[in-house]
Structure 1
Amino acid sequence: MTACDQIPALEPSVAVIVASLGRPDLVHQFQDLMARQTSSPDMLLFSVVSAADLPSGLEESTRLRVVRGSKGLCAQRNRALDWLNARFDIVVFYDDDFVPSKFSIEHIRAFFAEHPHVAGATGTVLADGINGAGISYDEALQIVRGHEERGFAPNCIVRELRGLYGCNMAYRTAAIGEHRFDERLRLYAWQEDIDFAASVGRNGRIVQTFAFAGVHRGVKLGRTPGMKLGYSQIVNPSYLVRKGTMSHRFAARLMLRNLAANHLKAFRPEPWVDRAGRVKGNWIGLFDLIRGRLTPERIETL
C-alpha cells in the first residue's frame, strides 16, 4: 500500500467559508452543493454584508451560520475566521461560484490527515471560466460528474506552491493561527490568496493536490469594475512586494502580463471584460507607483 492509498485513522473537522455579495442565487446553489457532499462539513459559514445577499428561506442551524458586516473579500473572510475561533481543524475557502465535487470534503479530511506537515492546499480546478465568458451551473455540474466517474483523486501532493488559488483552498487551522487576510486589499482583493498563503506558509507546506477538485464558473455578476481591477493589477503586487509576501520577479511578470493583455485586447475587447477601464486603471496605478504611493485601498474612491 502506497502513501497515496493509506486510509487515515482520524478525520479532522472541517469548516467551509463562503464570502458573498449581491449573489443570493449562488449562495442557494452552494448550499445545495454542500448538501450533496458524501461527508458533510461540520460548519458551513456564509459571510455576507446584508440580508439581500442571501436567498429567501435560508435557515441557520448548528451546521449552517451567517455572519454580516462590512463588504470586501478580506474583511468578510476575516470576520468568518474570527467567528469560527479555531474550533475546527481545517478551514476551506470557496468562492460562491465554485462547484466542488461531491467527494471534496471527504477527500480534504483524508488529505490533511495523511499530510500533517501541510499548512494549506489547493485542489484541482477542472475548468475555469474566469478568463472567458463564464461557465453555466449545469455545465459545471456535468464537468464535475465526469471527473467523479473517472475516479481520479489520489491523496498525494502534486507540487509545492508559492500561493493557493482563492476559489478553492483549504488550510490547517493550527497553521493559520493569528494570521488574517490583509484588509488593505479592498473589494475583490486581487492577489489576497497569494499574500495569505505566504503568511501561513511560514508554518507548513503550501501545496497542490489532486485529492479534491471542482469547477470555477467565473460568474461576472458582482465583480470589481474594470478601472478598479486595472488599478489593483499594478498596485497590489507592488504593495505585496514591499510587504515581503510576493517576489519582485513574480510581481513584475504578473504586472507586465496584465498590462500587455489589457492594451492589446483594448482594440477588440471581449464582451465580458471592460478592457478600456482596466487600461485606465493600469495607468493610474503606474503613476501612483512612480510616486511611491502604494495604497491598494484607493480603488474604493476610483
Structure 2
Amino acid sequence: MTLEHTDAFEAVVICTRNRPEELEETLDSIAAHPPSTNLLLAVMDASDAETKAQVQSVVENFDVVPSVHWSYTDPPSLARQRNAALDRLPTAVEVVHFIDDDVTVHPGYFEALSAVLRTRPDVGGAGGLVLEPSKDAPSARNERLQSFFFLSHTEVFLSHTEDGRVLPSGCTTSAQQPTRHDTSGLCDTEWLNGCSSYRRSILDQHRFDEVLTGYSMLEDLDLSYRIHRQARLVVQPEARLTHRRSPSNRFGAERYNHALTVHRRWFIEKHFGDVTSRLAYWWSLVGRLLATTVSSAPPRPAARRGLLHGLQTVLTRNHPLLSD
C-alpha cells in the first residue's frame, strides 16, 4: 500500500530488524483497541532478506489503520531508519509517534499523547509511562549509591531530586517510569526515550544523529535533549505501554557495557564538554565498576569486561564517535 494520498495527520513509526513475531504482537496490541485518532502506520524494516518477507506479511495483514512496509537496504542503523521514515511520510502528517517493535500499547495511548500536542502549542514532544514488568525497584541503598556516583538522582548539582533530568555525567533520571509518588497530570522533562511523540515541524529541524549506527544507543536521548532546548517536553502518565524487551538482536552484557561507556562519552562531549561534566562522567564510571564488581548477577564478569574495554576505548579514542 502507498500512503501518498492519505489524509491522516498522525503517523506511528516502527523501525524493526529481524523481529516478525515481536512486531506482530505489538500490532495485535494496537488492534485490540483501535485508535480513534486519524493514524497511519509506517514500518521501516532493516531485516535480513530471509526475514523481510515475514515482516512485510505481518504489516500487510494489519488492517486496523492504513499501513505500509518500507524496506531499508542500507547498513542497519536505528537513527538512519527513523530519519528515512520521516522523509517518506506524507506531508499531511503533523504528529509522529515513535514506538519500538517489542512493546504492548495500552488503550488510549495515542489519543492521550495526541491530545497534548493538539492542545498545548508550547509542547514539542510528549511521552507516556513505560512499564517494565520484570524490573524490580532499586533498594534505598542502591538509590543512594546511584546518587553518589551521578548515575541517577543527585543533589550535588540540583537543588532537589527530580525526574526527567540529564545529569552532568550524561546519565539520566527517567520521567517515563512509574514511581511510588506517581501523580496525574503532565510532568516536564529534559529528555524522552525512544517511544515518544513529536510535532513534525520540530522533527524537520532536529534529526536523529546519523553518526550512530546499528543499535544507535542514546539516539533518543540525543534528539530529545536537543529539542528540549527549543520546546517543552512532557510526560503524560495516562499514556502507557509495556516494554516486553525482546531478547532478539539485543546486546549481551559485555557488548552493552562497552557501547554504553563509549556512547555516553560521545553524548557529554557533544552537549556539555566542560570540566565538570567530564569529571562527573569519570566518577560515574567508578560507580559502575563498583556495581559490577559487587553484583551477584550471572553476567557480572562479562559486564565488567565490557566496561573496562569501553574505558580503554575512551582513553585511546579508538572509536568513530570519538574521533577528532
Looking at structure 1, the residues matched to 300 and 136 of structure 2 have their Cα atoms a distance apart, in angstroms, of 13
Match in the other structure for 1:135: none
**Aligned ranges 1:51-130 → 2 under 5 Å:** 52-53=51-52, 54-55=54-55, 57-58=57-58, 59=60, 63-69=66-72, 70-84=75-89, 87-129=92-134
Looking at structure 1, the residues matched to 105 and 95 of structure 2 have their Cα atoms a distance apart, in angstroms, of 16
Shift of residue 243, structure 1, vs aligned partner: 1.0
Looking at structure 1, the residues matched to 191 and 66 of structure 2 have their Cα atoms a distance apart, in angstroms, of 29
Query: For residues 221-279 of structure 1, what are the alpha-carbon distances to aligned partners after superposition, in whole Å with 9 as ceiling and x for unaligned?
Result: 221233321111111111111111698277557645543333333xx334xxx443332
Looking at structure 1, the residues matched to 322 and 76 of structure 2 have their Cα atoms a distance apart, in angstroms, of 13
Moved more, 43-52 or 114-123: 43-52
CA RMSD of superposed structures (Å)? 3.1
Counterpart check, 1:38 vs 2:35: yes
Q: Give the 3-state SS of the residue equivalent to 2:242 in structure 1.
A: strand
Inter-CA distance 29–125: structure 2 relative to 1 (3 Å threshold): same
- 1:218 is aligned, of 245, 257, 280, to 245
**Aligned ranges 1:239-254 → 2 under 5 Å:** 239-244=266-271, 248=277, 251=281
Inter-CA distance 99–131: structure 2 relative to 1 (3 Å threshold): same
Inter-CA distance 291–193: structure 2 relative to 1 (3 Å threshold): same
Looking at structure 2, the residues matched to 121 and 22 of structure 1 have their Cα atoms a distance apart, in angstroms, of 28
Letter of the 2:115 partner, please give it.
Answer: A
- 2:45 is aligned, of 44, 48, 54, to 48
Match in the other structure for 1:287: 312
Looking at structure 1, the residues matched to 273 and 98 of structure 2 have their Cα atoms a distance apart, in angstroms, of 21
Given that 1:86 and 1:173 are in contact with CA atoms closer than 8 Å, whether structure 2 keeps it comes out as no
Looking at structure 2, the residues matched to 125 and 252 of structure 1 have their Cα atoms a distance apart, in angstroms, of 29
TM-score by length of 1: 0.75
5+ residue gaps, structure 1: 1-11, 133-146
Q: Give the 3-state SS of the residue equivalent to 2:97 in structure 1.
A: strand
**Aligned ranges 1:127-276 → 2 under 5 Å:** 127-129=132-134, 156-158=185-187, 160-166=188-194, 168-244=195-271, 248=277, 251=281, 255-265=285-295, 268-270=296-298, 274-276=299-301
Looking at structure 2, the residues matched to 25 and 194 of structure 1 have their Cα atoms a distance apart, in angstroms, of 27
Q: Percent identity?
A: 24
Letter of the 2:186 partner, please give it.
Answer: I
Query: For residues 77-114 of structure 1, what are the alpha-carbon distances to aligned partners after superposition, in whole Å with 9 as ceiling and x for unaligned?
Result: 12211211654111111111111212111112211112
- 2:23 is aligned, of 27, 32, 51, to 27
Moved more, 58-67 or 105-114: 58-67
Letter of the 1:19 partner, please give it.
Answer: C
5+ residue gaps, structure 2: 1-7, 138-177
Letter of the 2:233 partner, please give it.
Answer: I
TM-score by length of 2: 0.70
Letter of the 1:186 partner, please give it.
Answer: T
Letter of the 1:269 partner, please give it.
Answer: A
Number of residue pairs aligned between Structure 1 and Structure 2: 261
